[in-house]
Amino acid sequence: MTKKIILAGVSAMLLVAVVIGAVSGVMRSTNNFKISSQEKIKIHTVSRSIESICQITDYKEACLETLNAASPDNKTADPKTIVTASIKATFTEFSQAAGKSKEISTETMDNMNKVALSDCQELLEYAVEELQDAIESSDEGDAENIRRRSKDLKNWLSAVMSYQVVCIDGLTQPELKANMTNNLGKATELTKNALAIITEITRLLESMKGALNLKNDVMGAVAGGGAAGRKLLNSDVGGRYPEWFSASDRKLLRATNVAPMRVKPNAVVAKDGSGQYKTIQHAIDAIPKDNKGRYIIYVKAGVYRENVIISKKILNVFMYGDGSRKTIVTGNKNFVDGTPTFRTATFAVMGNGFICKWMGFQNTAGPSKHQAVALRVQSDMSAFFSCRMDAYQDTLYAQTHRQFYRNCIISGTIDFIFGMSSVVIQNCLIVIRKPMDNQKNIVTASGRTYKYEDTGIIIHNCRIVPDRFLAPIRTQIKSYLGRPWKEYARTVYMESQIGDLIQPEGWMEWRGNFALRTLYYAEYNNKGPGADTSKRVHWPGYHILKTRADALKFTAGSFIEGGSWIKYSGIPSILGFKR
């Protein structure tokens, strides 16, 4: 009840601030007024709103310090200033933490921790870059821009949370782990605060659309434009797609969906020497640094034994092969042999806008080597079509950002679809393999670490089946839909066919009662013998969704804003529900 009163107060105060700010701002610009009594009301109202906004954060003192520092005279604490200030403070802390990570001595470290520390340094640089993008986005335009770009802002901040977790989880030396955790303590607090602030400000702005429209109408009228006013930034429906999707790119990608040979690639990879390159990595490394638009790589049939990395600076790559069983990238790096999970991936893609079709990715280390990733994806607005990912533990590492998989085959044993991204896996075949003796199978492990992150694993219209080795003994080995890797794990199965190998309780604990109250697991309209929910777990965080409206927010159109970018990838999709 108290929280509702606080939030109502915040909404009312910000509403007054925006409306008064709109009117008084126009008056100042047209009549050159001095600070009026109305302006004083605005100042007082916004001052109170800062304190109220901080009540919804987990680290209130840090929040007050951040926002008051951005508005020492209480004159500029409008929604845009509040959001931008929270992100800038986070950026400052991460920049400092990144610097400190480079000062840590490696003299007493084993090789795995040396590599893990190097990973930390790289990940923290990624965090700084993501925060720079968020600052640039929040700093332009007005409150309407904050509302419109809120999904992007939370996407960047959720990725920042991921980088922290991956960094610390990769360290095994207790003293080093504690040192890094301490270095990142304030940065973690501020990231969570920023996520909470953006969530609440967006909610309030959504409820205040009428006030924002009033602002535009008043400005338009004063300027002589009538009630219509100016056109809002990017107000055209469906116009917000990534800048690299030019009109020619969209036409090109649609063409590849039906006739790939009509497309002229920029580079051809072939093991037999019939292309410009014999390895995929050589083709990636040869992409011109000043390349504009989409870069197309055709990988001919063959087994490519290499570990491929597409760095964060390499954007807009479209790669396609001759089929997921013909064009195969394979490797065997693994945790047991001394490689941190983050580095075991056979194929890792970080550059935004990556699209891949008709290729296979394998990690052949085997179940005894534990974590061994076939495909790791950090690329925002990335999409995979008719691809195959095969390994055992940790097959598909959907690490960060918005991702979409369609008509793919994903196989494994333990946590074989995992990560901290916002990912929709649609119309795919999910194959559970035979594990080692005394092991259990778990399909998913969501790494969502905070309640305001827009992340989670969505399995939509898929089939969950055993492979041919597990099938005869599928009732003797326990298999589960998922377990909570992190405290706010979120996984939803919708309209999928679930085989009888899944245990009646459906879901498995990670460790005792850990996360059972804070996770969000849900099922909606699934079918098959393993879809019976009558004996499912009774955890506070488990839900059976009753209506389409409840489930709609987890569809590709809503959860990853698929309507604004998937259609430009040339990949078919169901943005809502088929029927």
The answer to whether position 265 is within a domain reads no
281 burial via Cβ count (<10 Å: 0-12, 13-18, 19+): middle
**For residue 267, is pLDDT > 90?**
yes
**Range in 49-58, 119-128, 320-329, 353-362 with the lowest mean pLDDT:** 49-58
Token representation of residue 223: 């300027």
What are phi and psi for residue 419, nearest 5 degrees? Answer: 140, -170
CB 354 within 8 A of CB 378: no
Helical residues (DSSP H) of 149-228, grouped into ranges: 150-169, 174-183, 185-207, 209-222
The whole-angstrom separation of Cα 515 and Cα 447 is: 11
- Between 12 and 496, the higher pLDDT residue: 496
pLDDT, tens digit, 9 for 90 and up, residues 382-403: 999 999 999 999 999 999 999 9
Res. 3 pLDDT band, cuts 50 70 90:
very low
Q: Are residues 458 and 561 in the same domain?
A: yes
CA distance linking residue 149 with residue 272, whole number of Å = 47
Of 71-85, 98-112, 328-342, 490-504, the range with the lowest mean pLDDT is 71-85
Averaged pLDDT, 180-207: 93
Domain count, the chain: 2
In a domain, 150, yes or no: yes
Note whether 207 and 306 are same-domain residues: no
Instruction: Write out the two tokens for 355.
Output: 């699209």
More confident residue, 552 or 27: 552
Check which CATH number belongs to the domain holding 164 and give it. 1.20.140.40
| CB atoms closer than 10 angstroms to residue 32 | 7
Would 321 be classed as within a structural domain?
Answer: yes
* Residue 477 banded pLDDT, cuts 50, 70, 90: very high
In our burial notation (b when 16+ CB lie closer than 10 A, e otherwise), range 405-434 reads bbbbbbbbbbbbbbbbbbbbbbbbebbbbb
What is the C-alpha separation between 330 and 359, in angstroms, rounded? 11
Query: What amino acid is encoded at 475 in this protein?
Result: T
Radius of gyration of the chain (CA): 25
Question: Does residue 227 register a pLDDT over 50?
Answer: no
Residue at 155: amino acid letter: N
pLDDT at 284 over 70: yes
What average pLDDT score do residues 274-290 get? 96
Alpha carbon 188 to chain centroid distance? 17
281: nearest Cα among 312, 315, 306 = 306
Rounded Cα gap, residues 521 and 533, in angstroms: 12
Is residue 233 situated within a structural domain?
no
List for the chain the helix, strand, coil content (%; round to 5): 40, 20, 40
By the 10 Å C-beta count (0-12 exposed, 13-18 middle, 19+ buried), 61 is classed as exposed
Same domain, residue pair 207 and 305: no
Q: How far apart are CA 90 and CA 191, in angstroms?
A: 6
- Give the whole-number percent of the chain exceeding pLDDT 70: 81
CA-to-CA distance for 146 and 192, rounded, in angstroms? 18
**Mean pLDDT over the full length of the chain:** 86
Mark which of 211, 241, 260 sits at the end of a domain: 211
pLDDT over 60 at 216, yes or no: no
Question: In this predicted structure, what is the pLDDT of residue 347?
Answer: 98
User: What is the rounded CA–CA span in Å between residue 347 and residue 385?
Assistant: 16
Please provide the DSSP assignment of 333-360 as one string.
--TTTT--GGG--SEEE-STT-EEES-E
Instruction: Encode burial over 460-488: b for 16+ CB neighbours within 10 A, e otherwise.
Output: bbbebbbeeebeeebeebbbbbbbbbbbb
78 labelled catalytic = no
What confidence score (pLDDT) does residue 262 get?
62
Alpha-carbon distance of 434 to 450, in angstroms, equals 33
Between CA 447 and CA 415 the distance in angstroms is 11
- CA-to-CA distance for 500 and 320, rounded, in angstroms? 35
Single out the catalytic residue among 415, 454, 500, 532.
415
Which band of pLDDT confidence, cut at 50, 70 and 90, is reported for residue 252? low
What was the pLDDT predicted at 24?
Answer: 35
Indicate whether 398 and 520 sit together in one domain.
Answer: yes
67 lies in the same domain as 173: yes
| Within-domain flag for 218 | no
CATH number of the domain bearing residue 495: 2.160.20.10
Top-confidence residue, 216 or 309: 309
Q: Is residue 272 part of a domain?
A: no
Task: Please state the pTM of the whole predicted model.
Answer: 0.86
Quick count: other Cβ atoms within 10 Å of Cβ 394?
27
Write out pLDDT tens, residues 512-526. Answer: 999 999 999 999 999
Location of structure tokens 């501020």: 190
- Supply the pLDDT for residue 578: 80
pLDDT for the residue 78: 81
- What's the CA gap between 450 and 159, in Å, rounded? 12
Of the three residues 176, 211, 246, the one that is the final residue of a domain is: 211
Tokens 């338009």 — which residue? 220
| 497 and 352 part of one domain | yes
* Number of alpha carbons in the 13 Å side-chain half-sphere of residue 200: 29
Task: Copy the structure tokens of residue 34.
Answer: 């001095």
Range of the domain at 455: 301-569
pLDDT digits (tens, 9 = 90+) for 541-564: 999 999 999 999 999 999 999 999
Lowest mean pLDDT among 34-43, 57-66, 319-328, 363-372: 34-43
Among 165, 194, 211, the domain-final residue is 211
Nearest of 465, 398, 462 to residue 426 by alpha carbon: 462
Do 311 and 187 fall into the same domain? no
Residue 374 has pLDDT above 60, yes or no: yes
Q: What pLDDT is attached to residue 467?
A: 97
Closest CA relative to residue 458, chosen from 532, 515, 524:
524
Residue 577 placed within a domain: no
Position 539 in a domain: yes
3 state SS of 512: coil
Residue with the two structure tokens 């679809």:
417
Three-class SS of residue 443?
A: strand
To the nearest whole percent, how much of the chain has pLDDT over 90? Answer: 73
Examine the pLDDT at 46 and tell me if it is beyond 60. Answer: no
- Going by C-alpha positions, the residue among 315, 458, 452 that lies closest to residue 381 is 315
pLDDT above 70 for 257: no
Angle between helices 111-139 and 150-169 (to 10 degrees): 170
Residue 241 has pLDDT above 90, yes or no: no
Check residue 353 and give left, alpha or beta (phi > 0: left; psi -120 to 50: alpha): left
Distance of CA 92 to the CA centre of its chain: 22
* The residue to which tokens 């190998």 are assigned: 501
Q: Is pLDDT larger for residue 274 or for residue 291?
A: 274
Please state, in angstroms and rounded to a whole number, the distance separating the CA atoms of residues 502 and 531.
8
Instruction: Give the Å distances, CA to CA, from 297 to 94, 196, 266, 376, 385.
Output: 35, 41, 6, 19, 15
Please determine, for residue 442, whether its predicted confidence score (pLDDT) is greater than 90.
yes
